[in-house]
Chain A
Amino acid sequence: MGHLAIRLVPVIKHLLVFAGLIALWELAAATGVIDVILLPEPHKIAASIWELYVENRTIYRHFIITFYEAFAGFLVGGVLGLALAVGSSLNDSFRRYVSPYAILLNVTPGLALTPIVIAWFGFGYSSKIALGAIVCFFPVFVNTLLALTRTDEDTLEMFRSMGASRAQVFWKLRVPAALPMIFAGFKIAITTALVGAVVAEFSQATAGIGVLMQRLSFSLNMSAAIAALLSMSLLGLILFSLIEILDDRVVFWRRTERMDAVGRRRRARWSVTDAATPGEPQGRKNLT
């Protein structure tokens, strides 16, 4: 019980600070320090959130559409970035001929391509997915390439001296060593993909949170626009935590608890196979 109280104290303090800030904001709006047309009072924003999520339920459709666009854009851009980076890491001349174009794509602000991408792919979802893919390609590409080429020399030497094949070096050494950095790239990429999707929606679209927000703020319904903006933060957080969960699953050796769990599971599997063929240890064949 005392333990719980100790853990609750900082939360309560945070909430008090939050309430204080909100009260200050309300006060500033009431006394006219803040222009309520441009920055509405918190209670109006809360009312708009209620309206968007509970009364009218308009936001869900837009929310899901933008989620889909951002995620699909991330998948397309991420797969392209991964494939090109793996190719570049395996073959030097491939890298030499691909990298100038990758750099060109990086120094071009991808969002500048918005009107062109919309002209190419039309007003529907595909242009938003394409823009998301363009802007999130580079973080994945560069992180994967750097991670795959920067393998620890000593470990590589050891793998070689034990006669590991090229495929074994790649799958057992380079990929696992690169995974944390690849996921760091994914984390950057998924938020950039969201930006790409939203910006494309600002430009030309009929549905999506970007459109909703633009419509609301241009009709000076600022409280609802800020509610939509907060939903976009929520969307960003959801997308980000999806990658984070995946990261935690795949790079299991980063956290001790997950490391232990996976170790227990593998040990259990090991003993099952051992029991099936007693006397001859399984899974060690490729070492002899």
Chain B
Amino acid sequence: MSDEGDLGAVAAKGRTRGIVARHAGILVALVAAWEISCRMGWLDPLFFPYPSAILLGFWRLYITQGNIWPHLGLTMLEVLVGFLAGSALGIALAVCVGMSDRLRRYLKPYVVVLEATPRIAIGPVIIAAFGFGWTSKTAIVMLVCFFAPFVNTLNGIVGVEPEKQSMFRSMGASKVQTFTKLLWPSALPEISAGLRLAMASALGGALVAEFIASNAGLGVLITQYTGTLNMASAFVCVLTLSALGYFIFRGMEELDRIVVFWSDGDRTDAMSRRRKAAWRAKMGTTS
């Protein structure tokens, strides 16, 4: 019995290892093809740098020169502050609006127009208003991060079934109780999705703001490197952004699993076990 299980696990492990090996093989082959075509002159290394040069660039930017760190830190600061402020504002405003039918009706046309505007397009106007420093970039990130949580929270609150609301009312729930026990939990999955969308666009927003006018940040670094046709270093910055984007993506997914724990069976079980234990502790160990 246990032998069989072990064998199955080993086989599964071997399979996944085989798949990983094949993927790695294809990646290596692609990179090698790129390197060779650069060396043979089929690709212009001025525009498509050698993969080996990109690797060297990583070493140079991160370790020997270390000049990427301050830019990376600044961009991350802009993204984080802008995201937190923008999404908090979006959710809070949506909650206020969602509680009042009339306010919602009158705000809707403005939301539609603002949704159709490419948010980043406001960039130059905001930079003219807030100056070239990091505040204007944070303001742009804030603006970019405002809408998805706002719209999703509003949709989530408005989308609650009227039957449930009338049940809450018939059982004499107060307005606060209806909100904390019904509206907010039912809206959470959508809010979480909105936060994910916002976070995904936050990085892009910060970069574009830096492209428009700035003196520090990854966007500036990319512009400088491309402007001097130091493409390998520019690729290092872009790949850094990919890694950053990946971690942000995974982090938001993890957050979603924790916040909306009832969408995942295992996590629901764990949470109800924990709550049961807490309940028992509170009531004394009578049962």
Chain A residues within 8 Å of B, Cβ to Cβ: 10, 13-14, 17, 38-39, 96-97, 100, 104, 106-116, 118-120, 191, 194-195, 198-199, 202-203, 210, 213-214, 217-218, 220, 222, 225-226, 229-230, 232-234, 236-237, 240
Contact = CB atoms under 8 A, between A and B. Distances in A.
Contacts of A214: 124, 212
A130 to B, nearest CB: 13
Given A112-B219, A119-B229, A214-B212, A107 B129 contact: no
Nearest to B223: A115
Contacts of A202: 123-124, 208, 211-212
Given A17-B106, A202-B123, A233 B227 contact: no
A112 B238 contact: yes
B203 interface: yes
Interface in B113-144: 113-114, 116-125, 127-129
Nearest to B117: A233
B204 interface: yes
Contacts of A233: 113-114, 116-117
A236 B116 contact: yes
20 contacts: A38-B128, A97-B26, A107-B248, A108-B238, A108-B241, A109-B204, A112-B238, A115-B211, A115-B222, A116-B231, A118-B226, A119-B47, A195-B119, A198-B120, A218-B128, A225-B125, A229-B117, A234-B116, A236-B118, A237-B116
B172 interface: no
Interface string B175-217: 0000000000000000000000000000110011001100000
B124 A109 contact: no
Interface residues of B, number: 48
B264 to A, nearest CB: 19
B118 A191 contact: yes
A275 B79 CA distance: 68
Contacts of B245: 106-109
Q: Which 10 A-B pairs have the closest CB atoms?
A: A107-B245, A115-B226, A236-B116, A109-B204, A233-B117, A108-B242, A217-B124, A195-B118, A107-B246, A111-B204
A273 B231 CA distance: 64
A142 to B, nearest CB: 12
Contacts of B119: 195
A83 B125 CA distance: 38
A240 to B, nearest CB: 6
B116 A38 contact: no
Contact of B207 (A111, A218, A226, A240): A111
B156 to A, nearest CB: 18
B242 A218 contact: no
A219 B116 CA distance: 26
Contacts of A110: 204
A210 B212 CA distance: 11
A2 B211 CA distance: 56
Nearest to B129: A38
B34 interface: no
A241 to B, nearest CB: 9
A240 B242 CA distance: 29
Nearest to A241: B116
Q: A118, A202, A229 — which one has the most chain B CB atoms within 10 A of its CB? A: A202
Contacts of B237: 112
B249 interface: yes
A112 B222 contact: yes
Given A118-B226, A199-B208, A210-B121, 9 more contacts: A96-B23, A107-B249, A108-B238, A108-B241, A108-B245, A114-B208, A119-B226, A194-B118, A234-B116
B118 A198 contact: yes
Contacts of A213: 121, 124-125
